[in-house]
């Protein structure tokens, strides 16, 4: 066998590298399109000098907030006394580096909300709904915000939860029988009736038929709910449990067991309308199992775990959604559930699922325009409620070996802010609060975000949530000083 001399190998490698340098020298950095493919080569300067990863210094951002006392304060046993869930009080932020940005119309709507919030602290009950993408999945961010708001203004329990939850969550435990099926407005399978309600998800159970026929027979299905020891203290306790359902056309019995002991037996209202099955306790139930039996399943749109008074802060995580699905539920049912919940504020947190798809500024404007239409939908159906839009966090793509902010993310934040100002919506800049352009790599390196360079870790979510709560509290303090007066 002929031996290849080392100098010949070296000459071959030099020739190959020289040939590769030719397209690197003449092809633009963003590539050229040929035969339907975008051809890109490493720029010539990058051949000799590797691109370096930029990491912002976020020490001041991380150290400026204290999240260690989130569970401090009064402990509640969940007993229903008519005033269960009264606030602990405390001091709210009077200023913040990243305030809520509000036009005059947005400030007026927030003022109405703050009035309702003050009344909740004095013994009434209101709801806040936090709709968002996977950034809030599992009660991430929402759980922290809920704890802070309930400590200050009252309320206990995680509030509304799905009839059939498929995500790991810190705030409650749930199991369902194998014959239950989940539907959502934002992910297949979907329901033709769109009767998802305020949570934009629902569940039904499959019914058996007799052997050799298609005649349905009464079939049992169950949903089990329990408090979670990993929840923040306020969410661990509740004294009221409500089951929301609709489209019940056949007799459906329900038995409720607490720790395997039968405590309630009833029948659902079989008129096809939207109804609530309420239960009240003198303690926080450890484990509740709802056992249903019918020849045709109703549509279950969720449960609510709450106290007597205060603020219910409800998490509605919509994995993969950019907010377009906010108008995908039956409008009358969506509005009815929000009326019954006395919803006074919507927090919307979207954009993260679209930023990586934007190719030019027009695609950004199209997306923000579509989001505006969904906001108008909410404003039409729930006109008394205020809206806060939280912009997307910083997110990174891998470019030439380093992680960088997606090119159109800053422009997206800017367009969102302008859209909010023109439509009576408050805006909070999460991207700016994190540190802005190319801040995500620093969050990842400190364990505050995941290796996907998109989602917060639990600690990172707490820091981001604390910044939002400070902006929320500063806006309330400013309103109180100008309109409500000092206590």
Q: What is the pTM of this model?
A: 0.88
Q: What is the pLDDT along the chain (487 residues), one digit of tens a residue?
A: 567 778 777 888 778 767 767 766 666 766 667 666 666 666 655 555 556 766 778 888 888 888 877 877 655 556 677 677 777 877 788 889 899 999 999 999 999 999 999 999 998 999 999 999 999 999 999 999 999 999 999 999 999 999 999 988 999 999 999 999 999 999 999 999 999 999 999 999 999 987 667 788 899 999 999 999 999 999 999 999 999 999 999 999 999 999 999 999 999 999 999 999 999 999 999 999 999 999 999 999 999 999 999 999 999 999 999 999 999 999 999 999 999 999 999 999 999 999 999 999 999 999 999 999 999 999 999 999 999 999 999 999 998 789 999 999 999 999 999 999 999 999 999 999 999 999 999 999 999 999 999 999 999 999 999 999 999 999 999 999 987 544 4
Q: Give the start-to-end residue ranges of the domains of the chain.
A: 6-48, 59-484
Q: In the prediction, which pLDDT does 92 show?
A: 86
Q: In the prediction, which pLDDT does 486 show?
A: 47
Residue identified by tokens 């708001």 is 149
Q: In the prediction, which pLDDT does 63 show?
A: 86
Q: In the prediction, which pLDDT does 1 show?
A: 54
Q: In the prediction, which pLDDT does 244 show?
A: 98
Q: Which CATH class is domain 59-484?
A: alpha beta
Residue identified by tokens 């929320």 is 472
**Residue whose C-alpha is closest to residue 241's, from 215, 214, 278:** 278
């Amino acid at each position: 066998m002929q031996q290849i001399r080392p100098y010949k190998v070296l000459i071959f490698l030099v020739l190959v590298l020289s040939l590769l340098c030719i397209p690197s020298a003449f092809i633009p950095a963003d590539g050229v399109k040929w035969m339907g493919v975008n051809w890109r080569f490493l720029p010539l300067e990058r051949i000799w000098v590797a691109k370096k990863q930029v990491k912002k210094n976020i020490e001041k951002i991380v150290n400026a907030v204290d999240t260690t006392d989130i569970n401090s304060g009064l402990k509640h046993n969940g007993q229903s006394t008519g005033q269960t869930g009264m606030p602990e009080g405390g001091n709210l932020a009077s200023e913040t580096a990243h305030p809520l940005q509000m036009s005059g119309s947005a400030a007026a709507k927030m003022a109405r909300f703050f009035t309702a919030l003050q009344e909740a602290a004095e013994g009434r009950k209101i709801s806040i709904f936090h709709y968002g993408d996977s950034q809030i999945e599992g009660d991430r961010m929402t759980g922290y915000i809920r704890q802070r708001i309930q400590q200050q203004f009252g309320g206990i329990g995680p509030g509304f939860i799905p009839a059939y939850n498929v995500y790991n969550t810190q705030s409650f435990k749930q199991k369902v029988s194998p014959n239950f099926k989940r539907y959502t407005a934002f992910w297949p399978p979907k329901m033709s009736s769109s009767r998802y309600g305020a949570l934009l998800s629902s569940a039904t159970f499959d019914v058996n038929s007799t052997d050799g026929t298609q005649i349905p027979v009464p079939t049992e299905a169950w949903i089990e709910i329990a408090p979670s020891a990993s929840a923040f203290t306020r969410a661990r306790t509740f004294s009221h449990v409500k089951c929301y359902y609709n489209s019940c056309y056949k007799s459906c019995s329900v038995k409720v067991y607490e720790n395997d002991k039968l405590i309630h037996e009833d029948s659902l209202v079989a008129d096809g309308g939207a109804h609530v099955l309420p239960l009240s306790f003198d303690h926080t139930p450890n484990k509740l199992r709802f056992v249903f039996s019918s020849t045709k399943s109703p549509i279950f749109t969720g449960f609510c775990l709450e106290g007597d008074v205060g603020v219910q802060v409800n998490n509605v995580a919509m994995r993969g959604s950019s907010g377009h699905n906010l108008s995908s539920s039956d409008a009358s049912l969506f509005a009815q559930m929000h009326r019954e919940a006395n919803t006074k504020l919507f927090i919307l947190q979207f954009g993260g699922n679209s930023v990586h798809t934007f190719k030019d500024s027009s695609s950004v404007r199209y997306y923000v325009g579509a989001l505006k239409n969904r906001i108008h939908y909410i404003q039409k159906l729930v006109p008394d409620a205020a809206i806060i839009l939280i912009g997307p966090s910083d997110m990174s793509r891998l470019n030439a070996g380093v992680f960088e902010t997606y090119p159109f993310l800053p422009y997206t934040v800017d367009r969102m802010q302008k859209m909010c100002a023109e439509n009576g919506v408050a805006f909070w800049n999460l991207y700016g609060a994190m540190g802005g352009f190319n801040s995500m790599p620093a969050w990842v390196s400190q364990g505050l975000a995941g290796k996907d360079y998109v989602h917060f870790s639990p600690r990172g979510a707490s820091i981001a949530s604390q910044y939002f709560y400070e902006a929320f509290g500063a806006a309330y303090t400013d309103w109180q000083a100008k309109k409500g007066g000092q206590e």
